[in-house]
Structure 1
Amino acid sequence: MSAEKARKLEKRELQQQAQKRQVQVQVKKQPWITKKEKVLYSLVCSVVIACSTYVVSYASTMDSLNRDIQSIQKDISQQQVQNENLEYKVKELSNPDRILRIAEENGLEIQKSEVKQANSLSEE
């Protein structure tokens, strides 16, 4: 019986040692994201940030150009109105009746009642 008891004791000791060995083993957990995935995500984020920065700068440039174009168009329309006003004044001041009236006021005698505009002479 003592041999059987010795065997049982050896089995128990072996089981206890095996349990101790199992307890001492540490299990390493793998990270949720691997290093390659982190590099890939970093690259994708960098590209997205670069693209969005480019889009914002492009939109800003286009906005400033549109504002400049609108300002120039406003200046052009104002200049056109001023040119039309000046053309109207030229026509008004070159009226033959006005020229005759001013000539009579300054003591000029009119020999012919026909007064032609200088522009119309060059056209005939």
Structure 2
Amino acid sequence: MMAQTAHCIAQGKDGSGFDVSSAVYGSQRYVRFLPRVISSAQVAIEGMPLQDIIVDVLNAKWDHEITQFSLPPLMTLLLGEPGTGGSSTPSMVGAVKKWQKSDPQKSIETWKVLSEANASLEKKI
């Protein structure tokens, strides 16, 4: 919880938490927390004492879900990088949000299909 909070403060935004969770727990199925659980930490720069921030963060209702997940034996997942540098998460998120705004109904339908496909694959693995 503290690592995720520190990460969000360092980034200046509420990320999903998946990267920190993966670093701590390894392979998993992850459902993100609601950003409000670290809201006191986000305003830390406004003078709230560090001890109070830590207590708020530790006592917050962290509603994320972590479920152990692993691929079947002999199945390997590879991630490649084309040699031109990594992707830019902010620009990718911006492109998705732009697409969602341009066709809200289609984006909802697509998101639903993707979610169902992911759930189906997870059950099969």
Greater strand share, 1 or 2? 2
TM over 0.5: no
TM-score of Structure 1 vs Structure 2, range by shorter chain: under 0.3
**Structure (1 or 2) with the greater helix fraction:** 1
Higher Cα Rg, which structure? 1
